[in-house]
Chain A
Amino acid sequence: MSCFKSLRPANRIWSRLFLCQTRGYVERDPRAIKMGDLMFEPEYNRHMPDDGKTPFVNLNKMLNVVEADFDKESLKQFMQRKIDVNDIAEQRVDAKTKEKIGKDLAAAYVVVKSGGRIQFAGMDRWIEKKGSHIPLPNHNIPNLKLQVADLTGSSIRYEGLAFLEGTSIKMLILRDCQYIDDFCLSRLYKISNTLEFLDISGCTLVTDNGLAALCKLRNLKGLRINDLPNAGNKALIAAYLLDENPELNVLGVDLPLDHDKEMPETSPEESGQYSDSSTNSSNKPPT
Chain B
Amino acid sequence: MAAFVTKWKGNEKIRPGAGKARKMGKFFKESISKMFSLKEEIPRSTDLVIVGGGLVGSAVAFFVAHKQTNREREIMVIERDPMYTTASSSLSAGGIRHQFSVTENVQMSMFTTKFLRNIKFFLGLIDQPPPDVQFNHQGYLFLATPEKAEKLEELVKMQKYLGAEVEMFSAEMLKQRFPWLNIDGIEAGSLGLNGEGWFDPHSLLAALKQRNIGLGVRYIDAEVIGFTKKLSAPETIGNQYVLASVISRDTDGDMFETNCHQVVNCAGPWAGQIGELAGMGTETGALSIPLPVVPRKRFIYAYHCHNGPGISTPLTVDITGTYFRREGLGGMYICGASPESEEEEPSIENLDVDYEFFNEKIWPRLAHRIPAFENIKLKSAWAGYYDYNVWDQNLIIGPHPVITNFLLANGMSGHGLQQSICVGNAISEMILNADTYTVDLSRFNFDRIIRREKILEDFIV
Taking Cβ atoms with an 8 Å cutoff, the residues of A that contact B are 33-36, 38-39, 41-43, 45-47, 49-50, 73-74, 76-77, 81, 84, 158, 182-183, 185-187, 189, 207-210, 212-213, 215-216, 218, 233, 236-237, 240-241, 243-244
A46 near B70: Cβ-Cβ < 8 Å: yes
Assembly CA distance A212 to B438 (angstroms): 32
* Residue of A77, A189, A207 touching B126 (CB-CB under 8 A): A77
A50 touches B71 (CB 8 A): yes
Q: How far is the CA of A76 from the CA of B69 in the complex (A)?
A: 20
Bound together, the chains give a CA A43 to CA B66 distance in angstroms of: 9
Check A186/B70 contact, CB under 8 A, given A209-B136, A244-B312. no
Are A212 and B134 interface neighbours, CB within 8 A?
A: no
21 contacts between A and B (CB under 8 A): A33-B438, A36-B429, A36-B433, A38-B68, A46-B71, A47-B70, A49-B70, A74-B126, A158-B117, A183-B117, A183-B195, A186-B195, A207-B132, A212-B137, A213-B137, A215-B138, A216-B193, A216-B312, A233-B329, A236-B329, A240-B329
For residue B20, which residues in chain A have a CB less than 8 angstroms away from its CB?
none
Give A73's nearest chain B residue, CB to CB: B126
In the complex, are the beta carbons of B67 and A237 less than 8 A apart? no
Q: Which residues of B contact A213 (CB under 8 A)?
A: 136-138
Q: Are B70 and A244 in contact (CB under 8 A)?
A: no
Q: Residue B194 contacts which of A39, A45, A189 (CB distance < 8 angstroms)?
A: A189
> Which A-chain residue is minimally distant from B66 (CB atoms)?
A39
Query: Could you say which residues of chain A place their CB within 8 Å of the CB of B66?
Result: 39
Interface residues in B182-206 by Cβ distance below 8 A to A read: 193-195
**Which residues on the B side are within 8 Å of A186 (C-beta)?**
137, 194-195
- B residues near A (Cβ < 8 Å) are 66-71, 111, 114, 117, 121, 126-127, 132, 134-138, 165, 177, 193-195, 216, 310-312, 329, 425, 429, 432-433, 437-438
Partner of A182, one of B68, B137, B165: B137
Residues in B neighbouring A208, C-beta threshold 8 A: 329
A76: contacting residue among B70, B126, B137, CB under 8 A: B126
A209 contacts B137, C-beta separation under 8 Å: yes
Known contacts A209-B134, A213-B138, A240-B310; can you find 9 more A-B pairs with CB under 8 A? A34-B438, A41-B69, A42-B121, A158-B117, A183-B117, A183-B195, A213-B136, A215-B138, A216-B193
Q: Are A33 and B111 in contact (CB under 8 A)?
A: yes
A287 to B91, CA, bound (A): 54
Nearest Cβ distance between residue A259 and chain B, in whole angstroms? 16
A49 touches B71 (CB 8 A): yes
In the complex, what residues of A have CB within 8 A of residue B194's CB?
A: 186-187, 189
A-B residue pairs, 3 tightest by C-beta: A215-B312, A186-B137, A213-B137
A240 touching B311, Cβ below 8 Å: yes
B69, A212: Cβ atoms closer than 8 Å: no
Question: What residue of chain B has the Cβ atom nearest to residue A241's Cβ?
Answer: B311
Which residues of A are found within 8 Å of B70, using beta-carbon distances? 46-47, 49-50
Report the bound CA distance from A76 to B68 in whole Å.
Answer: 22
